[in-house]
């Protein structure tokens, strides 16, 4: 690959200390210690493709951050503690300043969460980033999509819709003033995975999922897996000041169907509400209660006054949109 060879490239940008791994990057396999007794490994992969998951204009540092953030978000949704990750990268060319920015953004988030880069692969090709994360979770304590029960309350870890609003601004479909564009763009390009909250919800949440494809679609996964229905008060779904300045129809579209939010939506028995609030505080997040799980299948949306709302749930689907 150009003047900088594949192995020098790995050495320069992707070789970082791995105090937890028994063997880190540089050999045929990474070797990780087995989890302690009673603990299990949680594993998840996410791929980011240029033009599909990110715009060609995104600064490499933010891309590095986001590539890992979306993976850590899956660990968060399972209540797992991040341990390590691998990085498979296809690069159109060796661009030192791009690699430096990408690696900086990636490794800053990795260090923040104590998640080691233990190996991967690099090849020439259209820009494509695939990360696999490994986390630790109690053997029978992972948060799943299947545990929601009628009567459980539905909670959200933070405001939704900004990433979608920024995307609409990039597409030229809405116009935002400078400050709103910057804040929503930050939400789209630098999402913060709710890793601390996920672990704080172990033994407390009955079901959880992270919002990558839109609240209604992702909550739909919980409903199907748990064989339950839900009622959501759409006005209680928190949104940023930037989104709240938009017309109500756009607000609803962005926060209910938007996607790319990487907040957690989870359920918990009503009598656990105080503990849930405390878990939110420990994680430094203002949690919002947005509805209830019901036995009757299907999703019922109401506005703040309790009036039924018809709103199509259009979860993002790579093969349909
Ligand atoms: P092999 O040919 O045996 O699959 P590679 O030549 O692909 O090995 O990689 C050499 C070493 O560099 C391996 O230990 C691999 O895990 C590591 N590696 C490759 N790409 C990356 C990357 N993007 N980040 C971290 N380590 C990497
Ligand atoms: Mg290889």
At residue 1, the pLDDT reads 45
Which of 138, 165, 193 is the last residue before a domain boundary? 138
Quick check: 316 pLDDT over 70? Answer: no
At residue 4, the pLDDT reads 79
- Based on the fold, state whether residues 171 and 132 are members of the same structural domain: no
Atom of ligand 1 nearest to the CA of 6: 6
- Based on the fold, state whether residues 161 and 295 are members of the same structural domain: yes
- Based on the fold, state whether residues 129 and 177 are members of the same structural domain: no
What is the arithmetic mean of pLDDT over 101-110? 98
At residue 110, the pLDDT reads 98
Q: Give dist(CA 234, CA 61) in Å, integer.
A: 35
319: pLDDT confidence band, cut at 50, 70 and 90? Answer: low
- Based on the fold, state whether residues 109 and 192 are members of the same structural domain: no
Q: Is 29 in the pocket of ligand 1 (CB under 6 A)?
A: no
Q: Give dist(CA 136, CA 139) in Å, integer.
A: 9
Quick check: 313 pLDDT over 60? Answer: no
Whole-number percent of the chain with pLDDT over 90: 91
- DSSP letter at 25 equals B
Domain that holds residue 106: 6-138
Question: Quick check: 234 and 309 in contact, CB under 8 A?
Answer: yes
Q: What is the CATH number of the domain that holds 274?
A: 3.90.650.10
What is the arithmetic mean of pLDDT over 299-314? 84
Q: Is 26 in the pocket of ligand 1 (CB under 6 A)?
A: yes
Q: Give dist(CA 233, CA 244) in Å, integer.
A: 16
At residue 310, the pLDDT reads 80
- Based on the fold, state whether residues 180 and 123 are members of the same structural domain: no
Which protein residue's CA is at the shortest distance from atom 3 of ligand 1?
A: 28
Q: Is 139 in the pocket of ligand 1 (CB under 6 A)?
A: no
**Residue (of 158, 190, 204, 238) closest to 59 by Cα position:** 190
State both tokens at 7: 């192995």
Q: Is 10 in the pocket of ligand 1 (CB under 6 A)?
A: yes
pLDDT tens digit sequence for 209-260: 999 999 999 999 999 999 999 999 999 999 999 999 999 999 999 999 999 9
**Cα-to-centroid distance, 24 and ligand 1 (Å):** 10
Which of 109, 138, 167 is the last residue before a domain boundary? 138
Which of 110, 138, 166 is the last residue before a domain boundary? 138
Number of domains present in the structure of the chain: 2
Q: Is 109 in the pocket of ligand 1 (CB under 6 A)?
A: no
């Amino acid at each position: 690959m150009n003047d900088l060879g594949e192995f020098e490239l790995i050495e320069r940008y992707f070789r970082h200390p791995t105090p937890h791994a028994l063997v880190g990057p540089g050999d045929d396999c990474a070797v990780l210690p087995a989890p302690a007794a009673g603990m299990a490994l949680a594993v998840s992969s996410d791929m980011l493709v240029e033009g599909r998951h990110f715009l060609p204009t995104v600064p490499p540092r933010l891309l590095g951050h986001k590539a890992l953030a979306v993976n850590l978000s899956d660990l968060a949704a399972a209540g797992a503690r991040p341990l390590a990750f691998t990085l498979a990268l296809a690069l159109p060319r060796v661009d030192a300043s791009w690699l430096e920015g990408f690696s900086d953004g990636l490794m800053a988030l990795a260090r923040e969460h104590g998640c080691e880069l233990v190996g991967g692969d690099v090849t020439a090709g259209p820009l494509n980033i695939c990360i696999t994360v490994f986390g630790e979770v109690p053997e029978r304590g992972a948060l799943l999509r299947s545990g929601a029960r009628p009567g459980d309350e539905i909670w959200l870890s933070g405001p939704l819709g900004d990433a979608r609003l920024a995307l609409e601004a990039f597409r030229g479909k809405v116009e935002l003033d400078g400050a709103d564009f910057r804040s929503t763009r930050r939400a789209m390009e630098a999402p913060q995975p709710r890793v601390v909250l996920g672990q704080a919800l172990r033994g407390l949440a009955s079901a959880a999922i992270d919002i990558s494809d839109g609240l209604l679609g992702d909550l739909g996964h919980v409903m199907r897996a748990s064989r339950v229905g839900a009622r959501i008060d759409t006005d209680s779904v928190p949104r940023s000041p930037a989104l709240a300045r938009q017309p109500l129809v756009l607000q609803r579209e962005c926060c209910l169907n938007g996607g790319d939010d990487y907040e957690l939506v989870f359920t918990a028995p009503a009598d656990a509400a105080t503990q849930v609030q405390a878990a939110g505080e420990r994680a430094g997040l203002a949690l919002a209660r947005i509805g209830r799980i019901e036995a009757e299948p299907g999703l019922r949306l109401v506005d703040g006054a309790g009036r039924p709302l018809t709103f199509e749930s259009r979860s993002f689907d790579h093969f349909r949109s």
